[in-house]
């Protein structure tokens, strides 16, 4: 089953993010991705994450397809104009890449070459519309017909929040109207915030229209957890989780246990379709977390 088929069937999916290496060697990418084969339901490949160059995302996704690993190709609007993005969409389809996550991309000032000029010819909503038109109408925005097919499964990013009174999900609703079918979110290690957020989406008429995979992180240490909480926009890590890490005799093991606990809690929220694990500089923890989580969660794909 594909990721889309699993989500449509109501199975609780686990996706994992991998940053392609700063390398011309495919073996270095596979060293990160192959341990996830048969464990993760799909593997995201980032596109210039942190505004830094690495092995191209379309190429990385194509390599995963060759290895029998279903990729989620992240495409950012930062580096390419609409012509180049349309070419990348066609290239992805030709390589058997189906899952796409449309992102704005970090500003170059955040990266290691801050003088680089950003493009931002399209925004993520417009890129979703472009991909949907390729898929559904078989044509480019110019009206020019394409040959072949592009059966994309379209995704968008989101930041769960504890919704204040009167808040409405205008941005997310616009992305849904543009073609988004699934959502992968920023870190939210608080299942109660997720529960309240999903309830508000239900109230606003988005319930059941999008498949939500909530971002979680196997924390490396209490110090890194606090940094994520304080410095990473949109990330939610409860103080109790940080305290749990601080009190742990084995922080690495405790981190994995926290991840498994939050996966179990999220699996009990009907509107949550799965989790998206991002593990900066902690790739080795991810297979261990997935294996442990799959032991006790019936909804897992």
Residues 162 and 193 sit within 8 Å (Cβ to Cβ): yes
Tens digits of per-residue pLDDT, 107-165? Answer: 999 999 999 999 999 999 999 999 999 999 999 999 999 999 999 999 999 999 999 99
Residues 135 and 90 sit within 8 Å (Cβ to Cβ): no
Residue at 300 is within a domain: no
- 219-225 average pLDDT score: 91
User: Is 189 a residue whose pLDDT tops 70?
Assistant: yes
Residue at 226 is within a domain: yes
pLDDT band at 296 (very low <50, low <70, confident <90, very high): confident
- List Cβ neighbours of 62 (8 Å cut-off, separation of 6 or more): 92, 95, 96, 97
What is residue 216's predicted lDDT score, i.e. its pLDDT? 98
User: Is 82 a residue whose pLDDT tops 80?
Assistant: yes
- 196-205 average pLDDT score: 96
What is residue 78's predicted lDDT score, i.e. its pLDDT? 97
What is residue 209's predicted lDDT score, i.e. its pLDDT? 96
Tokens of 277: 């694990």
Domain span holding position 198: 3-294
3-state DSSP: the chain helix, strand, coil percent, rounded to 5?
45, 15, 40
**pLDDT averaged over the chain?**
96
CA neighbor of 48 nearest in space, from 59, 38, 64: 59
What is residue 230's predicted lDDT score, i.e. its pLDDT? 94
DSSP string, 38-70: TTSSEEEE-SSGGG---S-HHHHHHHHHHTT--
Tens digits of per-residue pLDDT, 44-65? Answer: 999 999 999 999 999 999 999 9
pLDDT band at 207 (very low <50, low <70, confident <90, very high): confident
Q: pTM for the full model?
A: 0.96
Residues 75 and 59 sit within 8 Å (Cβ to Cβ): no
What is residue 275's predicted lDDT score, i.e. its pLDDT? 98
Residues 165 and 193 sit within 8 Å (Cβ to Cβ): no
Residue at 119 is within a domain: yes
What is residue 301's predicted lDDT score, i.e. its pLDDT? 58
What is residue 299's predicted lDDT score, i.e. its pLDDT? 73
Residues 121 and 81 sit within 8 Å (Cβ to Cβ): yes
Q: Cα(153)–Cα(131) distance, rounded to whole angstroms?
A: 9
Tokens of 249: 């005799």
What is residue 66's predicted lDDT score, i.e. its pLDDT? 98
Distance of CA 299 to the CA centre of its chain: 20
User: Is 105 a residue whose pLDDT tops 80?
Assistant: yes
CA neighbor of 160 nearest in space, from 210, 227, 110: 210
Q: Can you give the CATH number for the domain in which 54 is found? A: 3.20.20.220
Count of domains observed in the chain: 1
Residue at 155 is within a domain: yes
Q: Cα(239)–Cα(48) distance, rounded to whole angstroms?
A: 31
CA neighbor of 70 nearest in space, from 105, 102, 45: 45
Q: Cα(241)–Cα(260) distance, rounded to whole angstroms?
A: 13
């Amino acid at each position: 089953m594909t990721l889309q088929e699993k989500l449509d069937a109501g199975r609780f999916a686990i996706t994992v993010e991998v940053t392609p290496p700063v390398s011309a060697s495919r073996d270095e990418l596979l060293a990160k991705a192959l341990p996830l084969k048969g464990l993760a339901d799909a593997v995201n490949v980032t596109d210039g994450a942190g505004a830094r160059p690495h092995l191209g995302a379309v190429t990385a996704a194509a390599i995963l397809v060759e290895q029998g690993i279903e990729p989620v190709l992240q495409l950012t609007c930062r580096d390419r104009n609409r012509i180049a993005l349309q070419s990348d969409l066609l290239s992805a389809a030709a390589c058997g890449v189906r899952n796409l996550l449309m992102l704005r991309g970090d500003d170059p000032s955040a990266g290691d070459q801050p003088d680089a000029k950003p493009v931002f010819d399209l925004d993520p909503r417009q890129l979703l519309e472009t991909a949907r038109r390729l898929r559904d109408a078989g044509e480019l925005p110019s009206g020019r017909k394409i040959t072949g097919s592009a059966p994309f499964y379209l995704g968008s990013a989101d930041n769960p929040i504890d919704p204040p009174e009167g808040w409405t999900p205008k941005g997310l609703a616009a992305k849904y109207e543009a073609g988004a079918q699934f959502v992968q979110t920023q870190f939210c290690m608080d299942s109660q915030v997720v529960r309240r957020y999903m309830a508000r989406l239900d109230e606003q008429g988005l319930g059941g229209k999008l498949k939500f995979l909530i971002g979680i992180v196997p924390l490396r240490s209490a110090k890194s957890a606090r940094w994520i909480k304080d410095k990473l926009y949109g990330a939610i890590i409860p103080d109790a989780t940080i305290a749990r890490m601080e009190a742990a005799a084995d922080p690495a093991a405790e981190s994995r246990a926290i991840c498994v606990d939050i996966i179990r809690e999220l699996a009990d929220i009907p509107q949550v379709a799965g989790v998206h694990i991002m593990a900066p500089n902690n790739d080795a923890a991810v297979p261990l977390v997935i294996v442990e989580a799959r032991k006790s969660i019936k909804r897992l794909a």
